[in-house]
Every structure is written in C-alpha cells, then in structure tokens.
Structure 1
Amino acid sequence: MIQSSRLITMIEIAVMTAIAVVLDRWILFQMPQGGSVTLVMVPIAILAFRRGLVPGLVCGLLTGILLLIFSGYVVHPVQAILDYPLAFGLLGLSGVIRLQSYASRIAKVLMAGAGLLIAGGLRFLAHYLSGIIFFASYAPEGQPVYLYSLIYNLTYILPQILLSLIVLGLLIYSAPQLVLKQR
C-alpha cells in the first residue's frame, strides 16, 4: 500500500509539473524585461495542498528547472537559481496549509489564499533579490533599485497570486476532488 501511494504521488508530481510548464506558456500579460502573469502557480499549489510540503516543493523545483531549460534568461548562475528553481520551488510551500483540516469550503478557500500568499510572497522575495542584485541597470535614473525591483516584481506576481486564488477557489467549490486528497 505504501509503495502504491508513493507511486501515485510521483505520478502526480510529474503530471502537475508538466501542466505547470504548459500553463507558463499561456501568457495573459508579459512584462517588458521578463516576468509574466500565467497560471503556473495553480498546479504546484494543487499538488502542495493535496500531497503536502515535500511533493509541492519537488514539483515547484522541477517546474523551475524545466522553465530554466526551455525558456530561461540567465545573466549569472546565482540569478538563474534565484529566478527559476528557488522561486518556483518556494511555491510548494503553500503545502504548509492543510486544507483537509478545514470543514467549510469558504474556510478552505481562505486558507488556500493564505497558502498562496505565503508561497507567492516567498517567490516574490526571490525575484526581488534577483532584481536588486542582477537587474539594477534597468531602474530608471534617480529611482532606487530596491523600489524599482519592488514595483516591477509586484506588478506581475500579485496579479498571478490573485488569479491563482480565483482558479483554486472555483476548483474547491466545483471540483474539490481535484484539490483535496481523497481519503
């Protein structure tokens, strides 16, 4: 039984990673120097909520590595790590919230929002640091680079978090079996 559960978890990690990479290509809004609003967070968060922290982290890490390989923009090896494996791996931290322990759907949606804010906030931090360290030259003259990186990265990460929450909320209400682990 344990082997079967591990196999199912590994299959879900592979499937959700593939879905995340595909959804990252479906760009709703593109920033001029990189970063975009997509649904990439949704499958990573679903897996983290269904299977927990470690599978969520693995899915996010694999997604980041694949995005780096397929479409990465690299100016320095540390920047590549910050903007891809680390940033997307951190999305798996939404799994610190165990949605199954909440009875009502509204509580599940609110807690999913908390998980997405935690994970999205940490992802933002990775991109923010990368922006300060490696993309300071893009800041308009006279604007502090920390402010530029803050505004630039919030412009696409915050809408991505909100959009992901809307999609997850709809899934929790209409198809909870996709988000919540069945007993």
Structure 2
Amino acid sequence: MNHKKLSTRILIQAAMMSAITIVLAQFHLFQLPQGGEISLGTMVPLILLARTHGSKITLLAGFLCGLIGLLLNPFIYHPVQVLLDYPLPYMVMAIVALFRSHLYLGVTAAFTLKFLCHFLSGVIFFAAYAPEGMSPILYSATYNATTLVPDFAICCLILRLLPLKRLTAELSTAK
C-alpha cells in the first residue's frame, strides 16, 4: 500500500483475494494426518495482492484469511500455536511486496517465513508426534517441508503461467 490511499476499491480487492485464497485452500491435492496439505496455489491471490497494493493491505488480508481458516478448520492447542498456524503463515505473504522487481525471490522469502511459522509450531507444540528416537526438530522440518515445498513449486508454476503484468496493471488501475 506504500503511499496509496486506502480506498473502497482496494478493500474490496483485498476481500476478494482473501475469499479466493480461502476457496483455493479447500481444494487439497494431498493431506497429512496431523494437518498440513498440498493445495492448488492457495497463496497466489495474496502474492498478487502484495505485488499490486503492497504489504500493509496484504497483512490485513492475510490476517483475515488466517481467522477464516481458524473458523473453518480449528485446531487449538495454545494461543501462540494458533498464531503460528493460522494468521501468520498467510500474513507473511506480504513480504513479496518488498521484492517488486524479483518476484520469485519474494515468493521464496515468503514461503521460507511460512515454513518457519509451521516449523516452530511443530517443534514447540507438536514434538510428541515425532517418532520415538527422532528429533522433534528433524520431524517438524520434514513434516512441514513435505507440504510446503510442493505448495511453493505449485505457486511458482501458477505465477509463471499467469499474465502477471496484465493482472497487476488491471488490479492497480481498476475503477
């Protein structure tokens, strides 16, 4: 949002991108037993929002996506775990806005932060799920990489196939 005025149009676009994100999150290609799934490019709408309107509006949209995700599929163990597993993984997509001329570097940074959120949640709150004799750190890293690496690759593929210049131009100038 960098020096843009927060308008009704921008708020509506943020709400629409949030809705698309939540809908995409419902389509799972693969799901792990304790949560985590490979989806159909769930983060692409938030990435587009970050490129178009900046980090502030994407933080807001990501927070909204996290709250809706929590309402749709709640797994509450601890308040900090809720933050690490619900709003923060969506909100970190805002970092893409800092990499305007290097989209894939921004997406890599965003997914690295998303991985870190889930990894920390796994180490701190779900270490008991690690197989006997396996380090909770290794378990959490492996478990979360199983879904996040394919999700990252799918998002990059979708972004590669989309007409990004046209989409971002339309989003930023639509009246």
Whether these two folds match at TM > 0.5 is: yes
DSSP-derived class of the 1:37 partner:
strand
Corresponding position of 2:51: 49
Structure 1 residue aligned with 2:168: 179
CA shift for structure 1 position 182: 4.7
Aligned partners of 1:48 and 1:94 also within 8 Å: yes
Q: Distance in 1 between matches of 2:172 and 2:42?
A: 23
Question: What's the offset of the Cα at 1:20?
Answer: 0.3
- Tell me which residue corresponds to 1:115: 106
Instruction: Answer yes or no: is the 8 Å Cα contact 1:16–1:43 preserved in 2.
Output: yes
Residue 147 of structure 1 corresponds to: 138
SS at 1:28 equivalent:
strand
Task: Report SS of the residue matched to 1:29.
Answer: strand
Give structure 1 stretches of 5+ with no counterpart.
Answer: 100-110
Quote the Cα distance in structure 1 between the aligned partners of 2:76 and 2:166. Answer: 38
2: CA distance between counterparts of 1:116 and 1:10?
A: 23
Question: Aligned partner of 1:177: which letter?
Answer: R
- 2:21 corresponds to 1:30: no
Any stretches of 5+ residues in structure 2 without a counterpart?
none
The equivalent residue for 2:100 is 98
After superposition, where does 1:62-73 map in structure 2 within 5 Å?
62-73=64-75
Whichever residue aligns with residue 62 of structure 1, its letter is: L
Looking at structure 2, the residues matched to 47 and 118 of structure 1 have their Cα atoms a distance apart, in angstroms, of 16
Counterpart contact for 2:53–2:172, Cα < 8 Å: no
Report how many residues are paired. Answer: 168
Instruction: Show the counterpart of 1:86.
Output: 88
In 2: Cα distance, 1:154 partner to 1:179 partner: 30
Comparing both structures, which one devotes a greater share of its residues to helix?
A: 1
Is 1:19 the counterpart of 2:20 in the alignment? yes
- 2:152 corresponds to: 161
- Would you say 1:137 and 2:128 are equivalent positions? yes
TM-score, normalised to structure 2, is: 0.90
Instruction: Check conservation: 2:38, 2:148, Cα contact below 8 A.
Output: yes
> What's the counterpart of residue 119 of structure 2?
128
Counterpart Cα distance in 2 of 1:179 and 1:92:
15
8 Å CA contact retained: 1:21, 1:67: yes
Q: Deviations over 1:49-88 (max 9, x none)?
A: 1111111211111111110111121111111111001121
* CA RMSD across the alignment: 1.6
Structure 2 CA distance for aligned equivalents of residues 62 and 24 of structure 1? 14
Give the letter aligned to residue 176 of structure 1: K
8 Å Cα contact 1:20-1:40 kept in structure 2: yes
